[in-house]
Amino acid sequence: MKDIRPTSGKVLAALFSILGGKIEGAKFLDLFAGTGHVGFEALKRGAGLCVFVESVRSRAESIKRLAGDNTVLGLEARRAVSWLVKRGMKFDVIFADPPYSSGWCDVLPELKGLAELFADDGIMIIEHSIREPLKLKDNTNNLEIISQREYGETCLTFLQRMT
């Protein structure tokens, strides 16, 4: 089982400060949810709903116990994206915190179906190590990096769909 590396308080505070009023009533997707801390914070700050995705069964079950009416998917990210697309789900905020040094920074922005999950004016934030710069390669999902913020060893990269 992979170790959990929770989003630090400093990064969490910065994330929600940047998102500001975008959280109120938002549909929030927490990919690689771990403990669910980020998704639960979004709900606490007024998100209308949160879908948690965590592939480690024991962690997904722990989130489920606290998630109320919110959906918890115990699936790997690729399968979860496919599941959500098939159900026509759209999200105002997509947050992903994949395990560092796992190669997900290269794969995630190109994930099949990812762009279909963006609501109009939707935004995606990927938390990653500053040692793993996020770059868009093939850009099959028509995404653009709109901002990157560094907090010690952590970087938050903000993406949106190009119009």
Look up the pTM and report it.
0.93
Reported as a single tens digit per residue, the pLDDT across 125-156 is 999 999 998 888 887 789 999 999 999 999 99
Residue 132 Cα distances to 9, 45, 156, 163, angstroms: 21, 30, 11, 27
Q: Count how many Cα atoms sit within 13 Å of the Cα of residue 122 in the half-sphere of its side chain.
A: 21
Band of residue 106 on the pLDDT scale cut at 50, 70, 90? confident
Q: Helix, strand, or coil here: 72? A: strand
CA distance 90 to 149: 25
Reported as a single tens digit per residue, the pLDDT across 31-68 is 999 999 999 999 999 999 999 999 999 999 999 999 99
CA distance 29 to 53: 8
Are 36 and 42 in contact by the 8 Å Cβ rule? The answer is: no
